[in-house]
Amino acid sequence: MTDEMIIRQPDDWHLHLRDGDMLAAVLPDTARHFARAIIMPNLVPPVVTALDIAAYRDRIMAALPRGSGFTPLMTAYLTEDSDADDLAAGFADGLITAVKLYPAGATTNSASGVRSIARVMPVLEVMASIGMPLCIHGEVTSPEVDIFDREKVFIETVLDPLRRDLPELKVIMEHITTADAAAYVSAASGNLAASITTHHLMINRNHILAGGIRPHFYCLPVAKREEHRLALRKAATSGDSRYFLGTDSAPHPDHAKLQACGCAGIYTAPNTMSCLAHVFDEDNALDQLEAFTSVNGANFYGLPLNKGQLKLTRIQTPCRYLEAITAGQETVTVFDPGVDLHWHVEPLE
């Protein structure tokens, strides 16, 4: 039995930091363990232009704890009015790492997103030509499609046709939630990868609905049946280089979660690495944890591997994490995995 392991410092390839008081409150939890993170641009108003992105990056850097080496990897929110030349220039300058496609209405602050792929094809063609990655929230939003089927239908009706039309485009299907998505990625060749969240490896839809509604487990894409959770765990622990961690850690004030129409998002940044060590340990795959958290994503994005290290130690007494954090006048509930976590995490100098 492995009781101690040292891995490369991990990256988070899908992270929400928000802004203002919330940014200041949540950023230290990510910077404590992660070297880099892909920062989501769905603020209000959204982060669309290179100018927007530079200003947001400056706010993130100003909020970092003193001495932190954390690097935010910035993304642009794709709209049907996005300027391809502006995005390409930002990519060339190293300001923009990727572009994010939200189908309009699919998730939090996505009203400005894409309604028609045809309308953004000129931008996508430029991105493909310069090797600029596209991060996709892979769900359709048609009201006639059941919420639990939105990812599968998106693959069939949007993603697969897009990849056939533009095979050179580098695509990350973010926070996949279904066996269908895992099978699609595993069968793909070339420019397709997928991120998987911590919480989708640990919860299924029963956690949200069985025995009463639990809003702190509600996220988008919504957790699916147990068979899908198990398929995601198989993919994550397989060592397949097309899968990597994107926590989709998404803080919301508790008052916004606990209402008649509560918002979607789970705040996992504080305990993600303990949770992942627990999952990989359960599946006898601790030897694949570093690939999932610290290697595969960097390789897909064409970035160097981190030089820092993280030490994980199995301890007898369960790790203790705060149940909630404070952001200004608000509280944010931390993800409760429902199991004792025995993997203590600490960065190494």
| pLDDT tens digits along 123-156 | 999 999 999 999 999 999 999 999 999 999 999 9
Q: What is the pLDDT of residues 196-248, one digit of tens each?
A: 999 999 999 999 999 999 999 999 999 999 999 999 999 999 999 999 999 99
Exposed/middle/buried for residue 144 (C-beta within 10 Å: 0-12, 13-18, 19+): exposed
Top-level CATH class of 12-268? alpha beta
Does 250 have pLDDT greater than 90? yes
Return the sign of the alpha-carbon dihedral for residues 114, 118, 119, 125.
positive
Q: What is the pLDDT of residues 267-326, one digit of tens each?
A: 999 999 999 999 999 999 999 999 999 999 999 999 999 999 999 999 999 999 999 999
Map out the domains of the chain as residue ranges.
12-268
Mean pLDDT of the region 61-68: 97
Own/partner contacts of 190-195, CB < 8 Å, gap of 24 or more, are 191/163, 191/167, 192/163, 192/242, 193/241, 193/242, 193/243, 193/244, 193/296, 193/297, 193/300, 194/235, 194/242, 194/243, 194/244, 195/13, 195/14, 195/243, 195/244, 195/245, 195/246, 195/248, 195/297
What is the pLDDT, as a whole number, of residue 180? 98
Active site residue 283: no
Residue of 248, 283, 287, 336 marked catalytic? 248
For residue 294, give the DSSP letter. I
For residue 340, give the DSSP letter. -
